[in-house]
Chain A
Amino acid sequence: MDNRKFGTFVATLRKEKGLTQQQLAEELCVTDKAISKWERGLGYPDIKLVEPLAEILGVSVIEIMRSERTDEEQVNAQSASEAITNMIDVVDYQRKIERRNVLIAVTTFALTVMSLFLIDTMDLVGFVLACLPIAMFAVGIVLILVSVKRKKLNLSYATPLTLGIFAIAFPIIIVLLMVVAFILGGPLPG
């Protein structure tokens, strides 16, 4: 299913009906941000909302799923099959979102438990200092990605790139210094 086509179709129908995103959102009991997201092609409505959405916009479910107007008499096997395929795409998309949400929840829970354990072991300041190299590495990756994106958009990218390189250098320098410290002194006897 073409999400941009779907978004444009919904936006056109909404405007034809003289509805604002806020009004449509209220009718469907969703947020206006959700409507904006669909119209920009960044997501689909929940499968349960397709029928009420079609009803409010004054079109059939098949038209919504095909993202184009069709005469009721002209609904043939091909257009019906296309609509069903699109419906399956929407369900697949929703499953992906659900799986992603579960993954985020599990990761957050695991990180929280690990953080609490580490804070308990090495007090808060120690925990922050121990996690700093990892955080700096992540920040560095993000900054480099930002600079790549800015370069593609023909914007200035020198600052995020420089900061990104320094941020990635942070954990590398820490590890190198620790290796030097280990070679110079070795582990202290307990």
Chain B
Amino acid sequence: MDFMFLLLAYVPVASLIIGVICLTAFFLLRYRKRKIVNWLFVLGCIGIGLTLLVYCFFFLVGFLGIGPMAS
């Protein structure tokens, strides 16, 4: 259970890291005028988006005071 919790807790962090790496790779390739890999851009946006989604969700849940969380 602890391992599962740890895994879930690190999903947004891992997603942010993957997102930043993908976006950096995309802009690096673009800057060096190599092939433009669109899926890197999409993956980067999804990675960063997932992190934002999780933070946004936890903020709203906390702000509105809903959910099974300790006060």
B-binding residues in A (CB < 8 A): 122, 126, 129-130, 132-133, 136, 158-159, 162-163, 166-167, 170, 173-174, 177-178, 181-182, 184-188, 190
Residues of B within 8 A of A158 (CB): 38
Known interface pairs A159-B38, A166-B49. Does A132 touch B56 (Cβ–Cβ under 8 Å)?
yes
Interface centre among B46, B61, B66 (most CB of A within 10 A): B66
Bound CA–CA A163/B67 (angstroms):
30
Residues of A within 8 A of B49 (CB): 136, 166-167, 170
Determine which of B42, B55, B66, B69 lies in contact with A178 in the assembled complex, contact meaning CB atoms within 8 Å. B66
Number of interface residues of B (CB under 8 A): 22
Question: By the criterion CB–CB under 8 Å, are A163 and B66 in contact?
Answer: no
The number of inter-chain residue pairs (CB within 8 angstroms) is 63
Question: By the criterion CB–CB under 8 Å, are A132 and B52 in contact?
Answer: yes
Question: By the criterion CB–CB under 8 Å, are B42 and A184 in contact?
Answer: no
Interface centre among A126, A133, A177 (most CB of B within 10 A): A177
Residues of B within 8 A of A170 (CB): 49, 52-53
Question: By the criterion CB–CB under 8 Å, are B66 and A174 in contact?
Answer: no
Would you give the 0/1 interface string for B58-70, flagging 1 where the beta carbon is closer than 8 Å to chain A?
A: 0111011111110
Determine which of A122, A167, A178, A184 lies in contact with B68 in the assembled complex, contact meaning CB atoms within 8 Å. A184
- The 9 closest A-B CB pairs, nearest first, are A185-B68, A181-B67, A129-B59, A185-B67, A159-B38, A182-B66, A188-B65, A129-B56, A184-B68
Question: By the criterion CB–CB under 8 Å, are B56 and A181 in contact?
Answer: no
Q: Nearest Cβ in chain B — how far from A86, in angstroms? A: 47
Known interface pairs A158-B38, A162-B42. Does A188 touch B61 (Cβ–Cβ under 8 Å)?
no
Q: Nearest Cβ in chain B — how far from A123, in angstroms? A: 11
Question: By the criterion CB–CB under 8 Å, are B63 and A126 in contact?
Answer: yes
Residues of A within 8 A of B14 (CB): none
Question: By the criterion CB–CB under 8 Å, are A181 and B61 in contact?
Answer: yes
